[in-house]
Chains A and B, each alone.
Chain A
């Protein structure tokens, strides 16, 4: 692996979650996983809800990230996502509770409006992802 770096920032609406020079960024792209290295061509890519992996030298940072997009230009990458949680920020109890609530809503879907079903699906995806990432402490 090359040791060239590029500047990365991970921004959510609530906070700047990460900034600094990194070697590798791995995200959940629209058509599957995608790795970004230094000196990437200018790009704008959509991101699905999924895991983010950042590698700085030999250190790895995992995050559970929401939908959003990635923009690369001039050796600078910005990841803008709905949320980005490191394993240590995730509350397992809340995630479990959210999963149960969402599953409950979805199990009674005949009575629901489309909007409510979709909202519950989003909630479920987030909870599942959080539960997956939290194991990577």
Chain B
């Protein structure tokens, strides 16, 4: 049986850990709110963008843009969106494992783009060549723009033939799911009837060559926002579990502590009384 002092020390250290996890949990909760607000704020833009791209591509019959060019993939650009920090349960692990097994099964070449320290380290450790890396990333539009820029450039120059992204999505407040999405070539969307003919400034084709990259930026931005929200959700859950576990542990240790103290007092009394008994005789 551990000594009274040892148990006391353990209680202290566990409750210190609890304080930290509780703080992290609170931070994650506050950030989730912010991330959700950002997601909501970005929706008008992405809806409008989708609307316009749909109208556009359905008006331009046959005129395909290089970004919509489907060809047999011989090289794939793989974007892995991970987190910079840990302490978020299996969040990083899930996404990294999924992308890793995809890469292992790929029968042709690929270019890797890694987001987040964790993803970077994971692939660097396994000897993969990381073409571009973004660490300590935030959900700002410039990052989405950069990603869209790089991938669309590769795609148009035919350095790669498709672009897939691995990221996590929030399914419910407690559940995040890793998933893979193919974002290039861009799928053609069929529009509903009743479209107003527009004046195009400049030509429709030129307009499309600006619109589609923009559309890609929006897709990337949504992905970044989703991934961030999922990361925070995962962290919230992990930290709230950790806090609960720590509390349980403290409770158990406190009981143990009382028992140990009781025991030591009993033995002491026993010693004293048996000493007194011995003197009487």
Chain A, range 4-24, C-beta contacts under 8 Å to B: 9, 11-16
Contact pick for B210, options A16, A42, A46, CB 8 Å: A46
Q: Is A31 an interface residue (CB 8 A)?
A: yes
Q: Name the contact of B44 in the complex, choosing from A16, A41, A68 (C-beta under 8 A).
A: A16
Partner-contacting stretch, out of B85-93, B195-203, B236-244 = B195-203
- Whether, in the assembled complex, B46 has its beta carbon less than 8 Å from a beta carbon of chain A, the answer is yes
Contact of B207 among A11, A46, A114, A118 (CB under 8 A): A46
Q: Which chain A residue has the least Cβ–Cβ distance from B213?
A: A67
A116 to B202, CA, bound (A): 28
Asked if B16 is at the interface of the complex by the 8 Å CB criterion, the answer is no
- Give CA–CA (A46, B211) in the complex, Å: 8
| Docked pose: A41 CA to B199 CA in angstroms | 8
Which of B103-111, B140-148, B264-272 binds A? B140-148
B202–A67 touching, CB < 8 Å: no
Question: CA–CA, A2 to B269, complex, Å?
Answer: 101
Q: Min CB distance, B212 to chain A, in Å?
A: 12
Tier of interface size on chain A = 20 to 34
Chain A CB within 8 A of B69 CB = no
Within 8 A of A (CB), among B135-169: 140-141, 144-146, 149-150, 153
Q: How large is the interface on B (under 10, 10 to 19, 20 to 34, 35 or more residues)?
A: 20 to 34
Interface string of B188-221 (1 = CB under 8 A from A): 0000000011111110001100110010011001
Contact between chains at A46 and B206 (CB < 8 Å): yes
Shortest Cβ distance from residue B170 to the other chain A in the assembled complex, whole angstroms: 19
Bound-state CA distance A71–B50 (Å) is 13
| A68 and B214 contact, CB distance less than 8 A | yes
- A95 sits at the interface (CB 8 A): no
Query: Chain A residue with minimal CB distance to B214?
Result: A68
**Chain A positions 22 through 58: 1 when the CB is less than 8 Å from some CB of chain B, otherwise 0:** 0000000111001000000111111000000000000
Contact of A42 (CB < 8 Å), options: B46, B196, B211: B196
Q: Which residues of chain A come closer than 8 Å to B42, judged between CB atoms?
A: 13-14
Give, as a whole number of angstroms, the nearest-CB distance from B172 to chain A: 26
Asked if residues B201 and A12 are in contact (CB atoms below 8 Å), the reply is no
Nearest residue (CB) in B for A79 is B48
Which B residues are within 8 Å of any A CB, using their own CB? Answer: 38, 41-42, 44-46, 48-49, 52, 56, 140-141, 144-146, 149-150, 153, 196-202, 206-207, 210-211, 214, 217-218, 221
Chain A residues at the B interface, C-beta cutoff of 8 Å: 9, 11-16, 29-31, 34, 41-46, 67-69, 71, 73, 78, 80, 82-83, 114-115, 118-119, 122
**Known contacts A14-B141, A118-B149, then 17 further A-B pairs from the complex at CB < 8 Å, ordered by chain A residue:** A12-B45, A13-B141, A13-B144, A14-B140, A29-B201, A31-B202, A42-B199, A43-B199, A43-B200, A44-B207, A45-B199, A45-B200, A45-B207, A46-B201, A46-B206, A68-B214, A80-B48
- Which 10 A-B residue pairings sit nearest by Cβ, starting from the closest? A45-B201, A43-B199, A44-B198, A13-B141, A13-B45, A11-B45, A15-B41, A42-B196, A42-B198, A46-B210
Pairs across A and B, CB under 8 Å, 22 listed: A11-B44, A11-B45, A11-B48, A13-B45, A13-B217, A14-B41, A16-B41, A30-B202, A42-B198, A43-B200, A44-B207, A45-B201, A46-B201, A46-B202, A46-B206, A46-B211, A68-B214, A80-B45, A82-B145, A114-B153, A118-B149, A122-B145
